Structure 1
Amino acid sequence: MHTHAHAGLHLHDPGGPTESWIRRGELLVDRSALPRVEAALGRWIDRVEVSSHAVMRLRSDADPVRVAADHPDLPVSVNHVHTVMVGSPILHGTGATPVPVPLPPAPPVEVWDEPVTVLILDTGVDPHPWFVDRHWFGEWGPRQEILDLDGDGVADQQAGHGTFVTGVVLQHAPGATIRHHRVLTSHGLTDDRTVASALRRVREHGERIDVVVMTFGCHTPDDQCPPVLARELDACESVVVAAAGNTATTRPFWPAAHPKVVAVGATTPDGDPAPFSGRGPWVDTTAPGVDIVSSHVRLTPTSRTYGAARWSGTSFAAPRVAATLATEIHNGRFPGSHVRGVRGADSR
């Protein structure tokens, strides 16, 4: 990903130990503390936009990382950019580009007597033949993927990602009730504010969510979880599962490294750790994440084509673990509040 391709993003400390993507010139502020923050940072503020969280836009000559670091007493944080990153094609032959393959038979149609609901935060979901006849499809309204955000006639790099992830869950938990909330663009981008706001809206919606799947993440300059996101994760009563990232490092990757989240690394078909996968003591479990086959949607000059693809990345290991946890909840063997019960487990 390059800054010239995504306006408004900035790479902090390129090539250095605190390299991370941020929204250029943005700080996030808890609304309740906005007057105090405005009084303290007035000389750097250009304007403030208020919704579920306040976005404070700084003057062009202000560095948001430095401003936040210089005021540790204020409830402000940089607006970090989360990305969907898939495995390197050099390492595994498929990796960064989904490769079309023949569509396998659809997972069986099941309806669990006691619903177990899995919420997927991703790019959306298309009316793939695997999904359209399921009882849950469309119940939360349209969440169709946007495949060509920039309108150039070519599918974007992460087009079809949410449809693919949904297929992974369905293959391993066919009776689960699946919900979607679109937080990622088809370029694979989101940020703290978007994710935190989605978690808050889902919580306020009132439906019980048993498992939440997050297939994205970021590094931060101070290697701490972005505060806005951390507050929403602390308030979440669901089991949260997140991809450990594909940066091949032990450096914490958020939200996966948050203590309340089940961080999932990827393995190869032989069961070995995938070289691209995040690793370290903050990773709780692993699952297959190389050459995964699942449902996919492709953009053609005249329509969308539904089939299957082969893809690699920790974002495809995470939904495998989410499906395993959903099945355990269905079988009464996994109390949803005890997320650390999966530490060290390997979903194969």
Structure 2
Amino acid sequence: MASTDLISLVELAERWRAEQPSLVVHDPGGPQECLLRSGEVLVYSGGTRVELERLRRWVDRVEEPAGGVTRVRLRPGAEPVAVAADGGPAVAPNHVHVGSPIMLGTARPLPAPADEPATPADERWPVVVAVLDTGLDPHPWFAARPWFDAGVPEVLDADGRPGQDRQAGHGTFVTGVLLQHAPGVQVRPKRVLSSLGLTDDVTVARGLRASRDADVVVLTSGCHTADDECPPVLRHEVARLGGIVVAAAGNGGTTRPVWPAALPSVVAVGADADFSNRGPWVDAIAPGVDVTSSFVRLTESREYGYARWSGTSFAAPRVAADLARLRHEGVPAAEAVRRVTALQPT
């Protein structure tokens, strides 16, 4: 039931460019390789006038600021990484983030049907977990829970090709992993990731901004950058969160940092598998191979069942659940992080 094809970032961009024509790969195959939105940069600063003056020769138009970010559309031929370097530290490309079941350059198992695991207990804790993912469908495991939000369902087929999109059902699966290990949490789903497994800095930042009241935030996508530094907008939004941020480390089998997971204030979670990213910026390891959880499939209608799936996306909610349980037990956030990361293998 699993595919053993290999996929590169260039192939990924080609595959979805028909649906998202703005995708471009910077430095394909090179040390600065990253996926960007072409023809634009983001300015995050209280004084955008200075940055915009520096970029004047490259600017086609400037959009109205939203959430502290100004999106600058560039003239044809302008290269976002080079333009951002001219603009200063508050200017960056709009990086495209990849969902963590998508395995760049490695084997990429797809979700397979599975037997039903034990249903999570019906408990209620005063702990809020924001799940920044593809949405959440009314699976029987949680459709009747008081926190369930019917307003962010999964998009199962957005690309027009036959069958379910590659990452459709992912948010429902991740939420099921979370509930199996922290059954009393109140989940706040935020749709930031497309059913094709892609998002960008602007969208992730918006999801983080909407999660400031959460005790724990789970993020299952991330990006590389040309300079291996965190995009300014993500660094800022993470710094303003009151809760613990848990992020999947990604599945490229590399030590190169993935953002925002690699931020020191974020708990970066790898999986117990060769495909997992690793390095000193990875804070925790959890099961990420053949994880079983709730799932929704596109047949003649929506069919609710269970699946097995692999990736650091499914290790992250396991660690988030451990942190949520400690918070429920009254352990302060910093101490909860210390306890969870102290148990990790070196």
Same topology, TM > 0.5: yes
Question: For residue 141 of structure 2, what is the aligned residue in structure 1?
Answer: 130
Q: Secondary structure at the match of 1:125?
A: coil
Instruction: For residue 41 of structure 1, report the CA deviation from its aligned partner.
Output: 1.1
Q: 1:108 aligns with which of 113, 121, 127?
A: 121
Number of aligned pairs? Answer: 328
Does the Cα contact within 8 Å between 2:41 and 2:71 map onto a contact in 1? yes
> Structure 1 126/56 Cα, relative in aligned 2: closer, same or farther at 3 Å?
same
Q: Distance in 2 between matches of 1:201 and 1:314?
A: 24
Question: For residue 62 of structure 1, what is the aligned residue in structure 2?
Answer: 78
Residue type at the aligned position of 2:97: H
Question: For residue 186 of structure 2, what is the aligned residue in structure 1?
Answer: 177
Question: For residue 315 of structure 2, what is the aligned residue in structure 1?
Answer: 317
Structure 1, unaligned runs of 5 or more: 268-273
Q: Distance in 1 between matches of 2:323 and 2:268?
A: 13
Q: 1:39 aligns with which of 44, 53, 56?
A: 53
Question: For residue 231 of structure 1, what is the aligned residue in structure 2?
Answer: 236
Q: Distance in 1 between matches of 2:16 and 2:43?
A: 27
Residues 166-222 of structure 1: CA deviation (Å, up to 9, x unaligned): 00000000011111100000001111111112222333xxxx311000001111111
Q: Distance in 1 between matches of 2:298 and 2:252?
A: 28
With normalisation by structure 2, the TM-score equals 0.90
Instruction: For residue 37 of structure 1, report the CA deviation from its aligned partner.
Output: 2.1
Structure 2, unaligned runs of 5 or more: 1-11
Q: Distance in 2 between matches of 1:191 and 1:87?
A: 15
Residues 21-54 of structure 1: CA deviation (Å, up to 9, x unaligned): 0111111112632322222211111112222221
Indicate the RMSD between aligned Cα atoms, in angstroms: 1.9
Does the Cα contact within 8 Å between 1:260 and 1:339 map onto a contact in 2? no
Q: Which moved more, 1:239-248 or 1:1-10?
A: 1-10
Question: For residue 281 of structure 2, what is the aligned residue in structure 1?
Answer: 282
Instruction: For residue 343 of structure 1, report the CA deviation from its aligned partner.
Output: 2.6
Matched, 1:326 2:324: yes
Q: Distance in 2 between matches of 1:5 and 1:284?
A: 32
> Structure 1 186/68 Cα, relative in aligned 2: closer, same or farther at 3 Å?
same
Task: Kindly report which structure 2 residues correspond to 1:294-309, keeping only aligned pairs within 5 A, or say none.
Answer: 294-300=293-299, 302-309=300-307
Q: Secondary structure at the match of 1:156?
A: coil
Question: For residue 270 of structure 1, what is the aligned residue in structure 2?
Answer: none
Matched, 1:80 2:95: yes
Does the Cα contact within 8 Å between 1:262 and 1:285 map onto a contact in 2? yes
Does the Cα contact within 8 Å between 2:95 and 2:225 map onto a contact in 1? yes
Q: Distance in 1 between matches of 2:16 and 2:325?
A: 41
Instruction: For residue 89 of structure 1, report the CA deviation from its aligned partner.
Output: 11
> Structure 1 18/324 Cα, relative in aligned 2: closer, same or farther at 3 Å?
same
